[in-house]
Amino acid sequence: MADTEVEKEAGGFVRPTVEVNTYRKANPLTAKIIEHRILYRESDENDVRHIVLDAKAMNYFDGQSVGVLPPGENDKGKPHAVRLYSIASLASRAPGSENLCLIVKRYVEKNPETGELFRGVASNYLCDLKVGDEVVLTGPAGRKFVLPVAHDIHRPYIFIATGTGIAPFRGFLQRLYKHTPQFNSPVYLLFGVKTTPELYYHDEFSEYKNENFHYLKALSREMKNAQGGRYYVNDLLRENEKELWPIISDERTIIYMCGLKGMEEGVAKAINEMALKHGKGENYYSTLSHRMEDEVY
């Protein structure tokens, strides 16, 4: 997308000015599903879907989120609240954008005492829809979790994701490798899931052949760390310290993190351990805030 909008300095880089809340509960956008497929199925009660919506009327950026308004009412007789989902595709105004993509994990929790199943309202609603069905949307939401404007985009990146937190990075990689001419800065994608089949968009990411793109996987149920425990994204940081430390310590590098909140503590600890080895003090991680963005939940 061309830098035709007003730009704003944001820490160490220049973000684009993005639209937010163009569509609200009072004036939502109704979008039709044009693609709906299973990315991963563990069982009838556990699947993850890739959903594409005809929603280019909304001016969203890759990295932003969209709100979904499930039909019906909650147990208090009120309309369901908006549920936010990270957009898993390129900006709507970018040439060749495939339209608004979401990655949705069906949420089902079983009460260990009664055996009763609790089904997440929005996730089950979306996962049960079919091509041609309509969804009511709000948004876009979020101003910060976006890549820099075009003239400031040529810099190193570290993307850290767990599970469906991979969503915004799909759009980011499309922007860098399909829509940014001569982009050749180092990019590290650290992706943590339980098992190999849960590496959502694995084939797509594997197709990026740029010599400076590094796709690193942490499979917590298939790999062991140095202590013999489960292997997480923080273990990727430790095991690739030689390559990653020069990128982390480079003031031009921006670090983005999206996924389960629990990973943040491990990532911070791993980076602080690296920093101590390189004489950077005990809480180096806290000094990265001006060039770090996170969407954790």
CA distance 34 to 181: 30
The answer on pLDDT for 234 being more than 90 is: yes
Of 153, 176, 31, 41, nearest to 99 (Cα)? Answer: 31
pLDDT in tens, 42-66: 876 789 999 999 999 999 999 999 9
pLDDT in tens, 163-177: 999 999 999 999 999
Helical axes 241-248 vs 263-277, angle rounded to 10°: 90
* Pairing label, strands 29-43, 7-10: unpaired
13: confidence class by pLDDT, cuts 50, 70, 90:
confident
β-bridge mates for residue 191, sequence order: 161, 217
Two structure tokens written together for 199: 């590496």
Of 5, 8, 12, nearest to 290 (Cα)? Answer: 12
The answer on pLDDT for 10 being more than 70 is: no
Q: Which tops the pLDDT comparison, 18 or 76? A: 18
Domains of the chain in sequence order: 19-141 (2.40.30.10), 150-296 (3.40.50.80)
The answer on pLDDT for 104 being more than 60 is: yes
Look at phi and psi of residue 221 and say left if phi exceeds 0, alpha if psi is from -120 to 50, else beta: alpha
Look at phi and psi of residue 19 and say left if phi exceeds 0, alpha if psi is from -120 to 50, else beta: beta
The answer on pLDDT for 95 being more than 90 is: no
pLDDT at position 2, please?
41
pLDDT in tens, 186-196: 999 999 999 99
Of 146, 186, 191, 140, nearest to 166 (Cα)? Answer: 191
Mean pLDDT value across the chain: 92
The answer on pLDDT for 96 being more than 50 is: yes
pLDDT at position 185, please?
97
Cβ(147)–Cβ(154) below 8 Å: no
Residue 272 DSSP class: H
Answer positive or negative: Cα dihedral of 237, 243, 248, 254. Answer: negative
pLDDT at position 11, please?
52
Q: Report the predicted TM-score, pTM, of the whole model to 2 decimal places.
A: 0.93
22: confidence class by pLDDT, cuts 50, 70, 90:
very high
The answer on pLDDT for 141 being more than 90 is: yes
Q: Which tops the pLDDT comparison, 255 or 76? A: 255
Q: What is the mean pLDDT of residues 125-146?
A: 96
Give percent of the chain above pLDDT 90.
82
